[in-house]
Amino acid sequence: MARGSILVVGGGIGGLAAAIAVQQKGFDTTVVELHPDVRSSVHGVGIIQPMNALRALDMIGCAQDCIAAGYPARRWGGLYSTDGTFIKEMPGTPVPGVDLPPMNGLTRPKLHAILTSHALEAGVTLRYSTTFTELEDDGAGVDVTFTDGSAGRFDVVVGADGVHSRTRGHVVEGEVAPSYIGQSAYRVNIPLLPEIDSIILQAGPAGMAGLVPIGKDLAYLFYNAHMAKQSPGSGMDSAGKLREYLAPFGGLMGRIRDEFVTDDRDIVLRPEESLIVDAPWHRSRVVLMGDAVHAITPHLGQGAAQAIEDGVVLADCLDGHDDPEAAFAEYTDRRFERCKLVVDTSLDIAEWEMGRKPGFDNIAATDHVLEVMAQPL
């Protein structure tokens, strides 16, 4: 596509990755983010970066900074029983020709800081406390009116505004919304213990608990709890409830429960929602990416990875076609089945954890996804 102007709606992980990627291809890129600054747009505790995420980040020059700021593991992880007995090694799947760790753990604020810094260095314009009020697509460009009263015209608008995307309504007919899967994820930062050298999974009688290293001195605990969706502000006594869920666990998880799950203020509880939007993912000059078209539950650690991959592939397609319609068609063709596999397998793992998929092999399913993710973008 002839170099022109691109507006990215949403300054999260996927939006920033896309902005860096298209700016590096020579497009004049602007990001608008509703939150007032980079830190306020960060939700959650830490993040898993599988090798395919690191490969995509390496393509836009960000991987080594993430590795330096995080915890590069020598394996994907290990599986343990409820009492802490070792069951199985999970080495991860190497990406041919890529010298990167199987997994890197990182805090979300550090990742956002790295992506923001690289975006600014590339020449991306970042506008906080701003989003659009109107998009008028005439086929040759998109006229955009912003919440601060300003306006502009862009050759392409990229909707990277999350699972509850407003941009999606300009692409997809009818009401499309994520569905709550019946689980919510507890997460809490803890000190990094020597045993947490990769993703540590302990399968409980009613849910999966895990530990993820995200820095030289920091890790986080997660637990996927089967529960009704909680209303805002209903997370009182989160520490006590999480301890109840973790009561059956022995070994390392039991020790961490007793020593570190103590303060409600430290605990994040978020509903797990899922969505896959049928193709096409664009209409005329507006295209969607990330959670706006494929909201992924955290069971495979692939949500952010897929958003980053979206941004890299979208930039490659825009760079390779003069016609944006052709670029968007190739982008969706390269991304849809890959993202759908991750969405569907994550849901299968959740169903198994909630006792609704007996006989399901979650480790084999995880290994299969990692093998597919190692394939070229």
Q: Which of 128, 132, 126 is nearest to 36 (CA)?
A: 128
Residues 6+ apart with CB under 8 A from 279: 332, 333, 336
Judged against a pLDDT cut of 90, whether residue 265 lies above it is answered with no
Q: Over the chain, what is the mean pLDDT?
A: 93
Token reading at 334:
């390269």
Token reading at 7:
């507006």
Burial class (CB in 10 A: 0-12, 13-18, 19+), 321: middle
What is the maximal distance between C-alpha atoms in the chain? 62
Instruction: Give yes or no for a contact between 44 and 270, defined as CB atoms under 8 angstroms apart.
Output: yes
Per-residue confidence at 150, pLDDT binned at 50, 70, 90?
Answer: very high
What is the reported pLDDT for 38? 66
Instruction: Give yes or no for a contact between 307 and 295, defined as CB atoms under 8 angstroms apart.
Output: no
**What pTM did the predictor assign?**
0.95
Sheet holding 71-73, edge to edge: 46-50, 103-107, 71-73
Strand 46-50 relative to strand 103-107: parallel, antiparallel, unpaired? antiparallel
Per-residue confidence at 233, pLDDT binned at 50, 70, 90?
Answer: low
Give dist(CA 321, CA 213) in Å, integer.
41
Q: pLDDT tens, 306-340?
A: 999 999 999 999 999 999 999 999 999 999 999 99
Phi and psi dihedrals of 167, rounded to 5? Answer: -65, -30
Give dist(CA 220, CA 373) in Å, integer.
24
Q: Which of 202, 161, 177, 185 is nearest to 299 (CA)?
A: 185
What is the reported pLDDT for 137? 97
Q: What would the mean pLDDT of 149-178 be, rounded to a whole number? A: 96
In percent, the amount of the chain with pLDDT more than 90 equals: 86
Instruction: Give yes or no for a contact between 203 and 85, defined as CB atoms under 8 angstroms apart.
Output: no
Give dist(CA 37, CA 47) in Å, integer.
20
* 211 vs 94 pLDDT, higher one: 211
Per-residue confidence at 98, pLDDT binned at 50, 70, 90?
Answer: confident
Give dist(CA 151, CA 141) in Å, integer.
13
Q: Which domains does the chain have, with CATH numbers?
A: 5-70+107-177+274-373 (3.50.50.60), 181-273 (3.30.9.30)
Judged against a pLDDT cut of 70, whether residue 40 lies above it is answered with no
The CB density around residue 260, as the number of other CB atoms within 10 Å, is: 17
Strand 71-73 relative to strand 267-276: parallel, antiparallel, unpaired? unpaired
Give dist(CA 112, CA 90) in Å, integer.
28
Instruction: Give yes or no for a contact between 64 and 39, defined as CB atoms under 8 angstroms apart.
Output: no
Give dist(CA 343, CA 295) in Å, integer.
7
- Strand runs (DSSP E) across the chain, as ranges? 5-9, 28-33, 46-50, 71-73, 77-80, 86-90, 103-107, 125-128, 132-137, 142-146, 151-154, 156-159, 179-191, 199-203, 208-213, 218-226, 267-276, 282-283, 286-288, 294-295
Q: pLDDT tens, 174-193?
A: 889 999 999 999 999 999 99
